[in-house]
Structure 1
Amino acid sequence: MAGQALIGLIGGMSWESSAQYYRLINEGVRDRLGGVASARTLMWSFDFARIEALQHAGDWDALAGELAQAARVLERGGADLLVLCTNTMHRCTQAIEDAVAIPLLHIADPTAQAIRAAGLTKVGLLGTAFTMEQDFYRGRLEQRFGLEVLTPEADDRAAVHGIIYRELVAGQVLDASREVYRAVIERLVARGAQGIILGCTEIMLLIGPADSPVPIFDTTTLHAMAAVERALGAR
């Protein structure tokens, strides 16, 4: 449709959550514009087996190079903005931003804005070990938005990470794993978490509002809706 920006999606990390991005963005545009309207999107989808191997090898330079190349391809394809359909790989945002002239919509920003809008200041963060333990994500929430971010204790971090990589990225959603996450959430709430960030895009396949005694902030949905708002802003 005229006036609708072309969203460049960097996906495949994993495709299970990228499929949710595609659904949510198209539903968001249809809800806003009505009828049979849908989003203008262009997706680069990685082979996650390669990405996962590089992540666990700690080769972030190689990963940054691959993401930068994907961003350049999408820009050449006509994308007006970029959406990186993963939390963990936002560790490489600088490489993407340096590679292209079009904006990258950072996943942490709409998440933090929703938390602040809810009047909360102290939140628990669930995600991959990379997201929970490194500073690229938590630091942005703390430094740019003034949030206090709690992460699970070491054993809980290992359990959360393992379920993501053994099950969720492969489309396996198990009741036993939901109970593990519920218990981790309960322990974060006991430490003072006023809300819980689902800081891995696959976690929304397993956990919803009914699984937590405090508000849930699903980064996948928040990021996708922010992309819709940005894409339709030209209207």
Structure 2
Amino acid sequence: MSTLTIAAAQSVSIAGDLAANIARHMDFIELAALHGVELLVFPELSLTGYEGEVAAALAIDPQDAVLQPLRRLAHKRGITAVVGMPIRQEGSSAVLIGALVLGADGTLDVYSKQHLHAGEELIYAVGKGGATLQIGVDTVALAVCADFSHASHAAAAAELGAGVYAAGVLIGESGYEPDTALLQGYARQHAMVVLMANHGGLTGGWQSAGRSAVWSEEGALIIAAPGAGDELVIARRDAGAWQGQVVSLAGDK
């Protein structure tokens, strides 16, 4: 079995400050590159924070030039980075919760959240999902937060041949235990590695639990962040065995 290194970027978003959040994302990409990460997944709406009141004003076309520094860096470092952003697609005024795939090869793909959390429909439209990703020989399916609360979503990923199910989320303390039990169950049920990238701090009035995590195909916990904060949560596969590592963004500087 080939090697694979994936990571959750447990980032703390600054409310509505796109420039500052892009800079922090670039720090995460640089840190991930030092550790050989091939796929780096950020939380839901990581580039703006979970800030519904300003989402419409901040929403961009995925091809917007503001993302070029991130796209260039991902390409330069050979990392596929999945970043969260409110988006409007060409020809539509609807605001979607996007997970933008900044390819290691310089390409850009778009995943849009298919299942909205209660209340999100007041701001966002229902998205259409997106294609699976290919990281070497591994097929990756994406999810954004409430997507994974629907068992059919993970099942569809498995039917598409995904060996990795990667979710960018916002999960607080009260939801952490039931939500991670669901994700761990999908790993076991569908023999998929499951990665969860949670926010690292307060966002949109919600205090995130942090503790981003990765589970193996058997449902065993490979690695989890110990709490909140800016943390890189890494899982490496070598000769079929998984090992985990947590690296603090602050500690790296």
Select the structure of larger CA radius of gyration: 1
- Between Structure 1 and Structure 2, the one with more strand by share is 2
Higher relative contact order (CA 8 A, sep 6+): 1
Question: Shorter-normalised TM-score: what interval?
Answer: 0.3 to 0.5
With structure 1 as the length reference, what TM-score do the two structures score? 0.36
- Between Structure 1 and Structure 2, the one with more helix by share is 1
